[in-house]
């Protein structure tokens, strides 16, 4: 009987120790679980931020390709000189000299006076053009939309400036291109007198990129990936191009880049353009979109130097203290010569020359060099 109490005490102590160990083990498990939830939450926040900024392939279409850093066109240089994108490394100072923007405008105006280019550089300021120009009356800005050069981000900037949303991050993706909800009026919605007043007095700009690389981006975005679920490109436009331009009638694959090139290079392409309607804005020339020889633009930005051009445009428009252009990953806007050459590999020189003949105005007005594979 005298040994029963110590034995009972020992068992009670062992029970408490076991209970403590169980509690401590559960405590560690809960801490580990909480840490996992925290990491998952931070990952979701980071993913959401990246998605808001770079979701649209129109904004940074080059991001889906392996990036080969090659020569970037520079209007301020002679044709034999090369501007390499290693100069795009962040240094905390402006990499493109302000003089370059003046030189771009001078080149464009000089090319506009070239009689040999007149049919490729001039167009009427029609409703089609006025529909491309978005208005910010509050800050007296006109922006001409040239798809596949980062226009989604510029539209977000203007949406914030117009007061429809307080910040770029808060704009839903489905609203950006919904012109009934995004608060961006088109210039075509004003009277003739109001249109002329804005054209004469407002800050006006648009963005360009290498014409052939832009066409590749348009083809991928509308006929390959189609991220905005626009089925008419694959089910209506693509079959129309294939019926007219596919040489091998037994070929059953969907639209190929070669078919697209033949369509765009055909001097009689306009009869199909009329059937396709405004969907052609993704691949028609900059001249047809923005009438640069008829409208006196304040700045022409280049997609290849957008890291510098975007802040410059905001400063020149007097809005840099109000809004910022979304951060651009280093090198993502650089000209990718390897990708361009890969897409045109296997396409006949005749078809490529006809394509260049149509877009020659864009190449020369904005200082882009003729592709090397057309010089051989």
Q: What is the pLDDT of residue 178?
A: 84
Give CA–CA dist 77/71, Å, rounded: 12
How far, in Å, CA of 112 to CA of 122, rounded?
7
Distances in Å between the Cα of 183 and the Cα atoms of 134, 152, 164, 179, 242 are 10, 14, 6, 7, 38
Q: How far apart are the first and last CA of the chain?
A: 109
Contact 101, 206 (CB under 8 A): no
Give the pLDDT confidence score for residue 97 in this predicted structure.
Answer: 77
- Is residue 76 predicted with pLDDT exceeding 80? no
* Mean local confidence (pLDDT), 16-38: 54
Q: Is the pLDDT of residue 60 over 50?
A: no
What are 144's strand-pairing partners?
133
Average pLDDT over residues 151-159: 94
Task: Tell me the C-alpha distance between 372 and 156, whole Å.
Answer: 36
Given a cut of 80, is residue 119 above it in pLDDT?
yes
Report the range of poorest mean pLDDT among 11-20, 53-62, 102-111, 223-232: 53-62
Per-residue pLDDT at 131 exceeds 50:
yes
| Nearest-angstrom CA–CA distance, 299 and 306 | 12
Higher pLDDT pick, 250 / 282: 282
Mean pLDDT for 248-262 is: 90
The structure's pTM equals 0.75
pLDDT of residue 83: 40
> Who's near 286: CB < 8 A, 6+ residues apart?
146, 206, 208, 211, 292, 362, 365, 366
Residue 36 — pLDDT band, cuts 50, 70, 90? low
Residue 188: is it exposed, middle or buried by C-beta count within 10 angstroms (0-12/13-18/19+)?
middle
Is the pLDDT at 54 greater than 90? The verdict is no
**Which has the higher per-residue pLDDT, 29 or 61?**
29
CB contact at 8 A, 239 and 334: no
Residue 281 banded pLDDT, cuts 50, 70, 90: very high
Quickly count: other Cβ atoms within 10 Å of residue 324's Cβ.
15
H or E segment to which residue 365 belongs? helix 349-365
């Amino acid at each position: 009987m005298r040994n029963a109490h110590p034995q009972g005490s020992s068992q009670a102590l062992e029970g408490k120790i076991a209970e403590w160990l169980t509690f401590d083990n559960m405590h560690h498990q809960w801490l580990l679980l909480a840490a996992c939830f925290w990491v998952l939450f931070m990952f979701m926040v980071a993913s959401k931020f990246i998605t808001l900024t770079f979701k649209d392939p129109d904004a940074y279409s080059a991001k889906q390709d392996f990036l080969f850093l090659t020569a970037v066109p520079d209007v301020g240089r002679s044709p034999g000189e090369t501007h390499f994108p290693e100069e795009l490394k962040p240094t905390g100072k402006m990499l493109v000299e302000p003089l370059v923007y003046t030189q771009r405008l001078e080149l464009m105006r000089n090319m506009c006076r070239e009689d040999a280019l007149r049919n490729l550089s001039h167009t009427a300021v029609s409703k089609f053009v006025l529909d491309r120009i978005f208005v910010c009356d509050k800050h007296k800005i006109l922006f001409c939309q040239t798809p596949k050069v980062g226009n989604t981000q510029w539209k977000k900037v203007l949406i914030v400036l117009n007061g429809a949303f307080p910040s770029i991050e808060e704009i839903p993706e489905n609203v950006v291109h919904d012109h009934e909800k995004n608060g961006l009026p088109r210039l075509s919605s004003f009277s003739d007198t109001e249109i002329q007043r804005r054209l004469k007095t407002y800050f006006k700009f648009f963005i360009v990129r290498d014409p052939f690389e832009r066409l590749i981006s348009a083809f991928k975005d509308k006929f390959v990936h189609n991220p905005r679920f626009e089925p008419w490109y694959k089910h209506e436009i693509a079959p129309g191009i294939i019926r007219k331009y596919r040489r091998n009638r037994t070929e059953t694959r969907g639209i190929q880049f070669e078919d697209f090139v033949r369509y765009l290079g055909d001097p009689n392409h306009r009869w199909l353009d009329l059937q396709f309607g405004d969907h052609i804005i993704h691949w028609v020339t900059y001249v047809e979109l923005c009438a640069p020889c008829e409208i006196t633009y304040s700045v022409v930005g280049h997609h290849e130097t957008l890291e510098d051009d975007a802040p410059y445009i905001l400063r020149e428009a007097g809005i840099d203290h109000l809004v910022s252009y979304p951060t651009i990953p280093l090198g993502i806007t650089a000209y990718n010569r390897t990708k361009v050459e890969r897409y045109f590999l296997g396409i006949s020189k005749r078809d490529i020359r006809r394509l260049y003949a149509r877009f020659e105005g864009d190449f020369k007005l904005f200082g882009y060099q003729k592709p090397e594979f057309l010089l051989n």
